[in-house]
Structure 1
Amino acid sequence: MLALVAAAAIVVAGLVGWLWWRGDGTLRRGSGERIRPREVALPDDAFGTTATLLLFGSQQDERTATTRDRLLALVEGRDGVRLAEVDLTARGDLAGRYAVTRTPSVFAIDGRGRLVGRVKGAADDATLRAALDTALGAAS
């Protein structure tokens, strides 16, 4: 009987882990809530006038640096589009407030400051581009 309970616990833990992992790197619809730069401990001018990609990362996570480089390449040369970054190493309190469960996470924010998309975990270039397109599309 004990072996059966242990096996069931392993299966349940595996299923929970798989469900947790499954959302990694996918673009999901944002809540539409308005986020202001000061609410995420950034200066008032940190967000773009047209769109912002808000990166929640960690100094200890090498995927954050890779994602930052990809996002910088996406926003480069685009008027009114910015990359803003929150270091959760220093501001861990913001992870709970914005339900950031994995680093890096990217929020796509339109020109009015509304959260229109979010990517949890490391994502490929196409997904990051889609996040930016979502923010730009919401702005028009």
Structure 2
Amino acid sequence: MPTGLWIALAAVVIALAFGAYRALTDGRFRGTHEVRGVAGGADAAATEPAVAERTVWDDVVAAVPDAQLGERATFVQFSSAFCAPCRATRRALSEVVELVPGVVHLEVDAEHHLDLVRRLDVLRTPTTLVLDASGREATRAAGAPRKETVLATLGSVVGD
């Protein structure tokens, strides 16, 4: 087999492997992690009491002053202007907000709030953070989550 054919075959295999990886991970909610100086998990309060007082919500409000925290939970969606999956995520989150009382959806333009994006380690759009009633990050998803996944995740966050 000529060398060019081997290279083309390797490129196709790598592309298929990457596509399979993205299909498995895109839009899946994962456990949260500690974000530079912000309490990220339930055990953060036990390990760093001074940091535990600051929440992700404090950073969001500093960047978007008119933002409102939901009584039960808040979706903070980071989007960009020409992002098709961002529109699908907006639609799914809006439908969930209509179904579940006390939940708020806030969309943040990542391009206009780069300092917040960097602070919260948002690597791509859409990224959705699910904050609990106190403004702490409960979980996050990179990519466009399905409505069913959002509802299941929200149920575990609000305790229903």
TM range (shorter): 0.7 to 0.9
- CA 1:96–1:15: 2 relative to 1, 3 Å: farther
- 1:48-83 per-residue CA deviation (whole Å, 9 max, x = no partner) reads 12110111111110211121111111011613x101
Question: For 1:48, what is the secondary structure of its paired residue?
Answer: coil
- 1:21-63 per-residue CA deviation (whole Å, 9 max, x = no partner) reads 7531111012352212554612265211211011111111021
Q: Who is 1:53 aligned against?
A: 75
**Residue range with higher mean Cα deviation, 116-125 or 89-98:** 89-98
Larger Rg: 2
Contact 1:103 1:120 in 2 (8 A): yes
Unpaired stretches in structure 2, ≥5 consecutive residues: 34-38, 41-54
- CA 1:131–1:44: 2 relative to 1, 3 Å: farther
Counterpart-to-counterpart distance in 2, 1:16 and 1:69? 27
Q: Who is 1:103 aligned against?
A: 125
Q: Who is 1:123 aligned against?
A: 145
Q: Who is 2:157 aligned against?
A: 135
**Residue range with higher mean Cα deviation, 32-41 or 95-104:** 32-41
Residue type of the alignment partner of 2:30 = R
Identity of aligned residues (%): 33
Contact 2:56 2:135 in 1 (8 A): yes
Residue type of the alignment partner of 1:84 = L
Q: Who is 2:88 aligned against?
A: 66
Q: TM-score, normalised by structure 1?
A: 0.75
- Aligned partner (choices 40, 43, 56) of residue 35 of structure 1: 56
CA RMSD between the two structures: 3.0
Equivalences, count: 137
Question: For 2:68, what is the secondary structure of its paired residue?
Answer: coil
Residue type of the alignment partner of 1:78 = P
